[in-house]
Amino acid sequence: MTDAVVIIPTYNEAENVEAIINAVFSLDSAFDVLIVDDNSPDKTHEIVQRLQKAYPERLHLEVRKEKSGLGTAYIHGFKWCLEKGYTYIFEMDADFSHNPKDLERLYKACKVDGAHMAIGSRYVKG
């Protein structure tokens, strides 16, 4: 377990989930990944289960019984991460609307620079 985890909620993200997981794991900084899947009909969770064999200690999956929405997926994920003792918790979408490379800047802002919180924005520079 690393000290940092990325929560990625999914619903019908079979086309993106493998690529986003591999993108996070290819970063220089070590992040664990938690996928919170809302029982996607396209079987997103089955792709994640297959990938867990390659990343058994770093890739985690929570499958919820039904589609309950993005907000509750993040709440579920944050509770899970806190229970596991992660120090740094990040969130991002599975569809690459957030650039995984930005995770390293946000992580550095907290761990190295001492920020209590780091927020990435497409609309504000810095």
pLDDT by residue (tens digit) across 31-83?
999 999 999 999 999 999 999 999 999 999 999 998 999 999 999 999 999 99
Task: Compute how many other C-beta atoms are within 10 angstroms of the C-beta atom of residue 77.
Answer: 22
CA angle 75/123/68 to nearest 5° reads 25
User: What pLDDT was estimated at residue 65?
Assistant: 93
> Which two three-digit tokens encode residue 55?
């990343």
Of 75, 28, 29, 97, the residue nearest 120 (C-alpha): 97
pTM over 0.85: yes
Specify the DSSP class assigned to residue 6.
E
What is residue 91's predicted lDDT score, i.e. its pLDDT?
96
Contact 120, 106 (CB under 8 A): yes
Structural domains present in the chain: 4-111 (3.90.550.10)
| CA 48 to chain CA mean position, Å | 12
Are the CB atoms for 118 and 92 separated by under 8 Å?
A: no
